[in-house]
Structure 1
Amino acid sequence: MTMKDTFSRFFFISDLGQIETEVRRVSGYIFPGYDFSEISSTLGDIERVYRGEYPGYRESNASYHDLPHTLAVFLATARLVHGLHLSGFLFSWNSFTAVLHASLFHDIGYIQEENDLEGTGAKYTKVHVRRGIDFMRSYLGKRGYSQSYLEDCARIIEYTDLSFEPAENGGTSSEVRIMARILASADLMAQMADEWYLPKLPALYREFVEGGVTGFSSEYDMLCKTSAFADYVRNRLSGVLGGVNSLVRLHFRERWGIDEDLYCFFMERNIRELEDILTRFGSDYRKAFEHLSLQKGLSKTC
């Protein structure tokens, strides 16, 4: 068995039930006796929103920012917080719950309301963070959460906006700031380490076009610029996000006995593979992407 095969057994969890089980288990490592019921209930509702089974909302139709991505970020967030716990940083049950909630709502702003029949949710790319915060406030407010809790969740989600440059303190507690950095890091790590990252890049370009994101003249141009984006991600993780991504190594060492940052491992592998595909196939890269999709079984579980 190769190193990749060994690592992927513990890394690529895609089934919603398995992800919930793993996050529940990790939560118990952090806070023995942690009451997971509220998170479990929210997770079930998030699934219904994305599937079009939640009153007032259409089924998710943003092909890149989909339910599997949200689940991957949810899992990466729990793994990072476990690493934070292992590092000796003290934080509250409340802050942990807030970052789990925030991870589930961070991309819900791509979902269209039931009477919004024009285009897809990708048209909200530039404002999806604000829309996600609005959804979160409404949902958690109805469940009786305090205004201060909603403000903490809002600030945590806000950090996932790549245009957001947080101030050193920003009027929030050190716990909220580090949880915000964790979610923003988990968002970047989960998408770029995803085994489906390369086959899904054309879908991301289509979302950018509909959402009015400029800077790319074509799908191929975006792919050619992805290595530069990876450099940006590395710099953002180690810079404004405080390097909290490195905490995940503590999680994998404690949970699985693997002394490796698996997110970094698979992210770098994806970038090398993309560069190789572009070198070998150029603008005819679709053949390679089709082959990758066939290798992965044509569909994902969620």
Structure 2
Amino acid sequence: MANDDEIYLIDMWRIVVREWRWFIGVGLIVVAATFAYLHHARSQWEATAWIQIGQVGSAPVGQDPHVEAFSRTVERLETRNFQDAVLDSVGVPVDGPAGRLYRGSMKIEQLAYANIIKLRVRGYSPEDAKQLATATATVLQDVHSRLGAMPLALARDRLDALESELKEAEANRRHLATEATGKGDTAALAAIALATNNAEIRGLEHARADLASRLLANYTYETSTAWPVYAPKDRVFPNTLLTAGIGLLAAAFLASLAAVARHALRVRPVRAGVSVHAA
């Protein structure tokens, strides 16, 4: 036997029809509140930057050639000092609404296989979001330029030294080649020294070519954005379709709840009266 307190769909429909004023009233209030929120909520836009971490190709074999490890770069991006430096660079108050939104919305994703960090930040306009994402990449580039300045300078000094040693060895080879054309012990010793000198020159040429190739743009480059910063025209918050859908569902639920509550209050005195009469 069914419990009298159970409510079936047909019963719900009858209650809604009977209490239609409450159903429509509460539903309209929730819908109005939803669209008022959509109208007055401050819109936010999101920009995405793909930052390629710089590297110095002359790093010793087995060591990370990047100017800064990915994990340390992510930690740097998340620090308050770095974020404040970015905000200061574009004239945004660090404790203002735009500054708080920038810090709170920052999302970082490591794409180590592509040597890229994907960065997303928000602003109160597409232009603001794009400016903040660009400034983040620029400030990081400045920091990494300072970190990589010394290793790069040492590599270039080493290349200059190899060039100097190679020129000296080639001049010595010309001298030894002249002496080796003579006769006697001096010529024999010069021939032996010439063979050693040729091996030295080959080693220097190989080292110079290897270091020069490591300093090419393929292996040595600064931190920069891999592609232009992207900021879509559509806002990301509030999401109109999602918010409207949730609002409509909430309106239907709360309106039904209000109708049921009103119906329960209406029939309670009737049941009480019937119980007293039966007793």
Common topology (TM > 0.5): no
Structure with larger RCO (C-alpha < 8 A, sep 6+): 2
- TM-score category by the smaller chain? under 0.3
Greater Rg, structure 1 or structure 2? 2
Q: Which has the higher strand share?
A: 2
Q: TM-score, normalised by structure 1?
A: 0.23
